[in-house]
Structure 1
Amino acid sequence: MRSLLVLLLVAAASAKVFERCEWARKLKASGMDGYYGVSLADWVCLTRWESNYNTMAKNYNTDGSTDFGIFQINSYWWCNDYIINSHNACGINCSVLLSDDVTAAINCAKRVVRDPQGISTDCAPRAGLISRGRDLSSYLDGCGV
């Protein structure tokens, strides 16, 4: 039991809250700038308001689903949390979205945006964040990206 507690504490310690520019550079290096028409500033804005750049962010929804990680990826559509019946379109366990290694989260966000309904399937309409022509350049100010 004691070793389980230590492992849980280590897992929690591996969470990361990115700084804005650090996150912008990570997204750019991962090919997110302009991916399926979503600008780098849109991604930075989206993740700022959805998770405050926190890889361990979780939001429990009234429909029984949960939003996971830095992108707040929903368990009903995109990952399997083994609590609700999931479509699991990203083919992953939701727990991998709660890691400082954001590879799975970025890959799943790319899958979300490729969906016929695009990112609107997930959180954008609720948060009202995808720019739709608004100037979001301030999210990249001073980042050198």
Structure 2
Amino acid sequence: MKAIGVLALIGCVVTVIESKIYSRCKLAKIFSRAGLDNYRGFSLGNWICMAYYESHYNTTAQTVLEDGSIDYGIFQINSYTWCRTEKQQQKNHCHVACSALITDDLTDAIICAKKIVKETEGMNYWQGWKKYCEGRDLSEWKKGCDVS
């Protein structure tokens, strides 16, 4: 059991070294081009705010949860339900490897996030969004960004 903890710690250190942390405006452009602005009624500000509170815009963020599952990437998408690791019991609703959610190419993460919003209760999936973004004026999140 200690070996698993040590390996997880080493994995986190390696992840930090190789991680890409986007700027708010760079993400605003990527998210806008990917069709997230007003996707299922959620403004671009919602997506930028949520990504900040979930991962601080870190593409390789990983959080090990108490149940042993892991939240991956910029949107902190959970391994048990949404993506696939080496284990067999995951549901993998996004039909994607969890490793694809922690790259600088956000395509798979965005596709999966859209699926989550469409198939669940909107953005309520993300605790960071519920706590810090829901019901607030989020116009500041894209302010100063050339989003077109």
Q: What TM-score do you get using the length of structure 1 for normalisation?
A: 0.83
More helix by share: 2
Query: Residue 49 of structure 1 is aligned with which of 23, 46, 53?
Result: 53
**Which residue in 2 is equivalent to 1:20?**
24
Q: How does 1:1-145 map to 2 (within 5 A)?
A: 13=18, 15-83=19-87, 85-120=89-124, 122-124=125-127, 127-132=130-135, 134-145=136-147
Q: Percent identity?
A: 41
Amino acid at match of 1:131: E
RMSD over equivalenced CA pairs, Å: 1.9
1:49 touches 1:127 (CA, 8 Å); kept in 2? no
Amino acid at match of 2:61: A
Do the aligned partners of residues 61 and 40 (structure 1) sit closer, same or farther apart at CA in structure 2, a change above 3 Å counting?
same
1:50 touches 1:127 (CA, 8 Å); kept in 2? no
Partner of 2:71: helix, strand, or coil? strand
Do the aligned partners of residues 27 and 124 (structure 1) sit closer, same or farther apart at CA in structure 2, a change above 3 Å counting?
same
Amino acid at match of 1:138: E
Q: What TM-score do you get using the length of structure 2 for normalisation?
A: 0.81
**How many residue pairs get matched?**
132
